[in-house]
Structure 1
Amino acid sequence: MEWRNYYMDVMFVPLGLVMIIAYHIWLWHKTRTQPFTTTFGRHAHGCRLWVPTMTKDIDKKNLVAVQSLRNLIMGSTLMATSAILMCAGLGAVISSTYSVKTPINDTIFGAHGKFMVGLKYAILLTMFSFSFLCHTFSNGFLNQVNILISTPQHVNSLVTSEYVTQLLVKAILLNSVGNRLFYSALSLILWIFGPVLAFFSSMAMVLILYNLDFLVGNNNTGIAEP
């Protein structure tokens, strides 16, 4: 029966999305309350120390600063390119699917009517598009940092190391959000072949991200943040 097929999609796919969202809410909470237990907290702390170190003696460290920012820009550009290519690929699949009027997953569990196929691709396109948008904004902030970090530091200057640090933190935050949207969309790609696969893929993604985001042992939480 068709309602049973829709029931699987309604249960498994939102459950997988809630699992990913709940994990990132918990990650944000841990990063705010115990920053040195997560890679994000330590990375943010390092950025707040890195910018003043670069600006303090920029004449000797300008090459290091430019190369470091260039690597960040290249990584963000690669992810933005991958996201927009995924959008183009999904658009091509949608066109070919509806041109032959045949769903591509007739033999897979879950709903596979025209509406559900369109909904799947619409959600995936939205997530990849927002991932591309976040990486584009991140590149914009990184380009500003790349220019402003070499600005001479004066007492009355509006371009301070604190301002450059804020721009860098915003760029890294947008880059992280874009990456997580991209990873979540990759796990949802299996929804095309059935909601059960999408659920287990989301579960596997959370386990992988947990091992990447949290640090085990030597978590010095007594260090004060700058």
Structure 2
Amino acid sequence: MEWRKCYLDMMLVPTALMITMAYHAWLWNKVRTQPFTTIIGTNASGRRFWVSAMMKDNDKKNILAVQTLRNTIMGSTLMATTSILLCAGLAAIISSTYSVKKPLNDTIYGAHGELMIALKYVTLLLIFLFSFLGHSLSIRFMNQVTFLVNTPQDPSSIVTPEYVSELLERGFILNAVGNRLFYAALPLLLWIFGPVMVFLCSVAMVPVLYNLDFVSSSGKQKVADKIGSDASTLV
């Protein structure tokens, strides 16, 4: 009868993952096509201007640039440390026979066999490992930017504000990927208690992420007015 109990796991968990993946695919398309309607695109544009301003007036703003990047690196370091600690905890649970591996299978739907329990913990372990990888690579790019943003401007130098901005954006993209993987682990963490919780949590996360990822209606109107004024200026 165990294989019948996994029907809900086979239906709800992939559906929940598809909902999350579909939302982020749509978000990525919006960032590529309409960047100023999203927080990600708006912040990316602001960071490009920031890099240009820091490198243009480097003698006065070099300390400000380093301190700002240091704070960003500290945030990525915290998330990377949290991810690897959770990985260590999950690895300890997988390798042990402690009773915490047994979920509350008396009141929750879904399969709770040994194979399913191992699949749940291994999936969580992989998600946190990839989150750690994203944050680690983000720290690498941020450290490079910390040095290059203070490079003296030389017409013959290949270290231009555009190059530094590209490195900075790669770091922030990897940081965002690490954060999103960390967020995706929350519904999967509830999979320990059953697939229904995974589905409900994934559905609830979509409107929350939407409000965090997209600018408000007033912000969209300001963007539209700016684009219209730029168009009229060109004419």
What is the TM-score normalised by the length of structure 1?
0.94
Runs of 5+ unmatched residues, structure 1: none
User: How big is the shift at 1:50?
Assistant: 0.8
Asked whether the equivalents of residues 188 and 202 of structure 1 are also in contact (C-alpha less than 8 Å), the reply is: no
CA deviation profile, 1:5-64 (whole Å, cap 9, x unmatched) = 110000111111000000000001111111111100101111111111100001100111
**1:163-205: CA deviation from partner (whole Å, max 9, x where unpaired):** 1001000000000000000000122100000000011111122
Aligned counterpart, 1:106: 105
Equivalent residue number for residue 160 of structure 1: 160
Tell me which of the two structures has the higher relative contact order, counting C-alpha pairs closer than 8 angstroms and 6 or more residues apart: 1
Aligned-pair identity (%): 57
Could you say what the CA RMSD is over the residues aligned between the two structures, in angstroms? 1.6
Give the whole-Å Cα distance in 2 for the aligned partners of 1:77 and 1:90: 20
Q: How many residues align?
A: 223
Structure 2 counterpart SS, 1:109: coil
- Segments of 5+ residues of structure 2 without an aligned counterpart are 231-235
Aligned to 2:14: 14
User: Conserved in 2, the CA contact under 8 Å of 1:141 and 1:167?
Assistant: yes
Q: 1:161 to 1:202 in 2, by over 3 A?
A: same
Partner of 2:233: none
Closer/same/farther in 2, CA of residues 100 and 194 from structure 1, 3 Å limit: closer
Mapped contact 2:105–2:193 kept (Cα < 8 A) = no
Q: Is the 8 A contact 1:6 1:110 kept in 2?
A: yes
Q: CA deviation at 1:105?
A: 3.6
Q: Which runs of 4+ in 1 moved over 4 A?
A: 99-102
Q: Which amino acid aligns with 1:32?
A: R
Q: Normalising by structure 2, report the TM-score.
A: 0.90
Residue in 1 aligned with 2:149? 149
The residue number in structure 2 matching 1:139 is 139
Whether the 8 Å CA contact 2:5–2:109 is kept in 1: the answer is yes
Instruction: Give matches, 1:2-81, under 5 Å.
Output: 2-81=2-81
Residues of 2 paired with 1:93 and 1:101: CA distance?
8
